[in-house]
């Protein structure tokens, strides 16, 4: 499966590139730039996103080349909105492709954009325009939050695929408590194990697609669930540190099946020496919100 909406890169096949290696012919301009750590209050413990705050005049090839150069899971480019309802427009790139939406880049981009707004302190609600449409954001006590987009695919996983998931995760099939499609763009399949410890013990291999794994911590623990996100293709398996889109769709699944009772906090990233924290809340109308702290780690200009 290709990555179309997650907080992670989709590995390109060996020897191939998603874009031409030909350099764009244009005069570089110094553009305001931020690198924001997302889902953490402590620098270097979350999931970073690179943000170019004025991408006016940049073509797609240049954006993709810069995203490939940053070598982060995502790089975003802020543009004037085309919708009168939006505060800004953003294009989101992995190292190999453009995404219609992604979770931690949405929070990180909004954080960086707010740093450039004179009236930022007085504002509490925002609207981001991206290829997936208009994404509502708001301030919360737990940081900026985005409204979870509706899933594109839900429902049970075919038994044959379930056996394959167990093999990729390196566990017996009977260790999977439940599994379901939780696809809000990247093709996520959510897998529930019986404990957070079992999630942290995973050593996956040859992952093909986008697999999110979740397990509960004991009652009274600082966080309710541990989450890990595995992505693969072409013989390459990667793990994303802290994943907004996955946590959004997993929350919708767990809440709908009665396994989670919001508000609650998720931990993710321990296996990668990170300490991500994702806060899940639900409005009376059923809208799931995904919140996390954001902090600028780098600030300056990028020549593009």
Catalytic annotation, residues: 74
Does residue 72 sit in helix, strand or coil?
coil
DSSP 8-state symbol, 201: T
Residue 250 phi/psi, 5° resolution?
-65, -40
DSSP 8-state symbol, 66: H
Residue 117 phi/psi, 5° resolution?
-105, 125
The answer to whether residues 112 and 105 touch, using CB atoms and an 8 Å cutoff, is no
- Report which secondary-structure segment, H or E, holds 88: strand 88-93
Q: DSSP per residue over 206-225, as a string?
A: S--EEEEEEEEPPTTSSSSE
Rounded distance between C-alpha atoms, residue 67 and residue 62, angstroms:
9
Burial environment of residue 3 by CB neighbours within 10 A (0 to 12, 13 to 18, 19 or more): buried
Residue whose structure tokens are 């810069």: 66
The answer to whether residues 52 and 33 touch, using CB atoms and an 8 Å cutoff, is yes
């Amino acid at each position: 499966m290709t990555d179309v909406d997650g907080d992670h890169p989709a590995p390109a096949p060996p020897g191939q590139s998603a874009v031409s290696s030909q350099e764009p012919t244009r005069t570089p301009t110094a553009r305001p730039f931020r690198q924001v750590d997302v889902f953490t209050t402590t620098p270097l413990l979350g999931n970073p996103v690179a943000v170019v705050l004025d991408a006016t005049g940049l073509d797609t090839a240049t954006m993709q080349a810069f995203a490939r150069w940053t070598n982060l899971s995502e790089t975003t480019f802020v543009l004037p909105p085309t919708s009168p309802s939006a505060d800004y427009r953003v294009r989101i790139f992995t190292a190999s492709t453009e995404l219609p939406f992604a979770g931690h880049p949405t929070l990180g981009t909004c954080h960086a954009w707010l740093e450039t707004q004179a009236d930022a302190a007085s504002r509490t609600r925002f609207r981001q325009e991206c290829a997936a449409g208009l994404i509502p954001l708001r301030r919360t006590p737990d940081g900026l939050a985005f409204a979870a987009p509706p899933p594109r695919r839900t429902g049970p996983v075919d038994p044959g695929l379930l056996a394959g998931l167990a093999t990729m995760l390196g566990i017996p099939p009977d260790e999977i408590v439940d599994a379901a499609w939780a696809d809000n763009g990247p093709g996520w399949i959510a897998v529930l194990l019986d404990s957070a410890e079992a999630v942290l013990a995973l050593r996956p291999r040859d992952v093909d697609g986008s697999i999110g794994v979740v397990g509960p911590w004991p009652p009274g623990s600082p966080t309710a669930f541990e989450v890990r996100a595995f992505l693969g293709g072409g013989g390459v398996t990667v793990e994303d540190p802290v994943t907004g889109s996955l946590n959004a769709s997993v929350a919708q699944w767990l809440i709908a099946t009665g396994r989670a009772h919001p508000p609650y906090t998720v931990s993710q990233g321990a296996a990668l020496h990170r300490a991500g924290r994702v806060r899940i809340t639900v409005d009376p109308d059923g809208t799931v919100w995904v919140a996390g702290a954001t902090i600028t780690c780098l600030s300056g200009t990028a020549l593009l």
